Amino acid sequence: MTVESELIERLQQLLAEAKAAGVEQALQPILKRALEDVAAKVSGVAETSSLIEVPGSYGLIGASAAMEQVFELIERVAPSTVPVLILGETGTGKELVARALHENSPRRSKLFLAENCAAVPAELLEGELFGHVKGAFTGAVANRDGHFVAANHGTVFLDEIGDMPLPMQSKLLRVLQEGEVRAVGSNKTVTVDVRVVAATNKDLPAMVSERNFREDLYYRLNVITISLPPLRDREGDVSILARFFADRLQASLGRSVELDAGALAALEAWSWPGNVRELENEIERAVALSDGVIGREDFSPRILAQQE
Ligand SMILES: Nc1ncnc2c1ncn2[C@@H]1O[C@H](COP(=O)(O)OP(=O)(O)OP(=O)(O)O)[C@@H](O)[C@H]1O
Ligand SMILES: [Mg+2]
């Protein structure tokens, strides 16, 4: 056994011990980095990723206390059929959580269908969700199932639920309460069994008091709430996520991508108004600009300006 492989083995042991002792949150980033360094020297770039255990769950990266709470909640509510409302600023991972709920439920072999209520004009949204019959409106040349029928026994994710027009909110309430849908232009109801997960970054209670969102629907959707913390409140996660995105790019580009200490410090200091999406884009941009080792100078001016 070479000195290097002994070192790797010892670091992996330490990582496991840290985990068993429940202190991996503090130690894992340090040990992981040491492991990466040794592994990179021994076996070159290609093999390092497989040695690294990325902290997180359900395809969501994070080891902060705030995210641990989210993972626990996902674990507890995924198996049931109750509606879940996911709240959080833009880019905090609401859609990833919705998928995680589906993938970790008994419904995983059925469809997960997502609809962005803000992106589709109201006339079309109704047909998308509830289906339509031939001739119901111009362009409806054949009968078509909506998401609630297509994803029967699966999950429908309603993104930007705060933008759902009021008349459609009544139809949605009916699905939630009676499990019944009626296609546009039809007088027949169909019974469905669909789990509804909704997300928004709007203030729904304020919309309820302004009468722009149905109160009964709000309570029905909001049986369980998962609130995603903004990235700036997830202690330590910026570095973990930055390395995760860099490793992923490294694997897809087939060339070495590293972040130096100054780069990580600059990222940790920024407030990330666009949350994880902003960080993901920033790493991609820096990788495109750098020659392999990303330094703080590779980041956008707004990120550098805060420290000068
Ligand atoms: N914890 C995480 N680990 C890894 N990737 C993440 C995480 N959270 C978010 N992402 C990535 O960040 C991007 C934004 O996530 P997502 O689309 O789920 O956010 P969102 O809350 O739905 O945003 P918006 O409100 O703008 O729709 C995606 O590319 C997603 O894969
Ligand atoms: Mg989204």
Summarize pLDDT for 121-173 with one digit per residue, the tens.
998 999 999 999 999 888 889 999 999 999 999 999 999 999 999 999 999 99
Same domain? 86 vs 211: yes
Question: Can you give the pLDDT at residue 49?
Answer: 44
Domain assignment of residue 279, yes or no: yes
Tokens of 89: 């600023």
Write the pLDDT tens digit of every residue in 266-296.
Answer: 999 999 999 999 999 999 999 998 888 999 9
Q: Do the domain assignments include residue 266?
A: yes
| 185, 91: one domain | yes
- Look at 38 and 157; give whichever has higher pLDDT: 157
Which of ligand 1's atoms lies nearest the C-alpha of 95?
18
Using alpha carbons, list the distances in angstroms from residue 70 to 44, 92, 100, 210, 271: 35, 12, 11, 30, 21
Q: Which of 29-33, 108-112, 199-203, 253-257 has the lowest mean pLDDT?
A: 29-33
Yes or no: say if 133 and 185 are a contact pair by the CB < 8 Å rule: yes
Residue with tokens 């990330």: 272
Helix (H), strand (E) at residue 95: helix 94-103
CATH number at residue 127: 3.40.50.300
CATH number of residue 292's parent domain: 1.10.8.60
Same domain, 262 and 276: yes
Query: Are 182 and 105 found together in one domain?
Result: yes
**CA–centroid distance for 113 within its chain:** 15
Q: Of 229, 251, 273, which residue sits at a domain end?
A: 229
Neighbouring residues of 291: CB distance < 8 A, sequence distance ≥ 6: none
At 47, is the pLDDT very low, low, confident or very high (cuts 50, 70, 90)?
very low
In a domain, 59, yes or no: no
Cα dihedral 53, 56, 61, 64 sign: negative
Residues 221 and 281 in one domain: no
Tens of pLDDT, residue by residue over 263-274, are 999 999 999 999
Q: Which atom of ligand 1 is nearest to the CA of 199?
A: 22
* Euclidean distance between CA atoms 179 and 168, whole angstroms: 15
pLDDT at 80 over 50: yes
Note whether 119 and 97 are within 8 A (CB): no
Closest to 260 in 3D by CA, of 294, 299, 226, 307: 294
Q: Do 249 and 206 fall into the same domain?
A: no
CB 203 within 8 A of CB 158: no
Instruction: Name residue, tokens 């497989």.
Output: 50
Whether residues 148 and 219 share a domain: the answer is yes
In a domain? residue 75: yes
On whether residue 211 sits in a domain, the answer given is: yes
Please tell me the residue having the least CA distance from ligand 1 atom 29. Answer: 277
Say if 58 falls within a structural domain.
no
Co-location of 8 and 71 in the same domain: no
Domain C-terminal end among 169, 195, 229: 229
How many Cα atoms are found within 13 Å in the side-chain-facing hemisphere of 155? 28
Q: What are phi and psi of 102, to 5 degrees?
A: -65, -50
Nearest-CA residue for atom 30 of ligand 1: 93
Where residue 50 falls among pLDDT bands split at 50, 70, 90? Answer: very low
Indicate whether 274 and 173 sit together in one domain.
no
Q: Is 262 exposed, middle or buried (0-12, 13-18, 19+ CB in 10 A)?
A: middle
Residues 215 and 246 in one domain: no
Among the atoms of ligand 1, which is closest to the Cα of residue 279?
12
What are the tokens at 114? 């997502």
- Distance in angstroms (rounded) separating the CA atoms of residues 287 and 281: 10
Domain presence at residue 60: no
Residues 5-27 as b/e (b if ≥16 CB within 10 A, e otherwise) read eebbeebeebbeebbeeeebbee
Q: Does ligand 1 lie within 6 Å of residue 230's CB atom?
A: no
Residue 60, beta-bridge partner list: 57
User: Structural domain tally of the chain?
Assistant: 3
Domain range enclosing 4:
1-53
Residue 283 to residues 97, 165, 191, 253, Cα–Cα distance (Å): 22, 37, 46, 13
Q: Is the CB of 91 under 6 A from ligand 1?
A: yes
**C-alpha of residue 116 to centroid of ligand 2, in Å:** 8
What is the rounded distance in angstroms from the CA atom of residue 241 to the CA atom of residue 32?
13
Query: Does 168 map to a domain?
Result: yes
Please indicate whether residue 88, judged by its CB atom, sits closer than 6 Å to ligand 1: yes
Report whether residue 116 contacts ligand 1, using a CB cutoff of 6 Å.
no
Same domain, yes or no: 223 and 236: no
Domain C-terminal end among 10, 30, 53: 53
Q: Give the separation between CA 60 and CA 96, rounded to whole angstroms.
A: 7
Residue-level pLDDT at 9: 73
> Rounded to the nearest 10 degrees, what angle do helices 3-20 and 24-43 cross at?
160
pLDDT band of residue 16 (cuts 50, 70, 90) is confident
**191 and 224 inside one domain:** yes
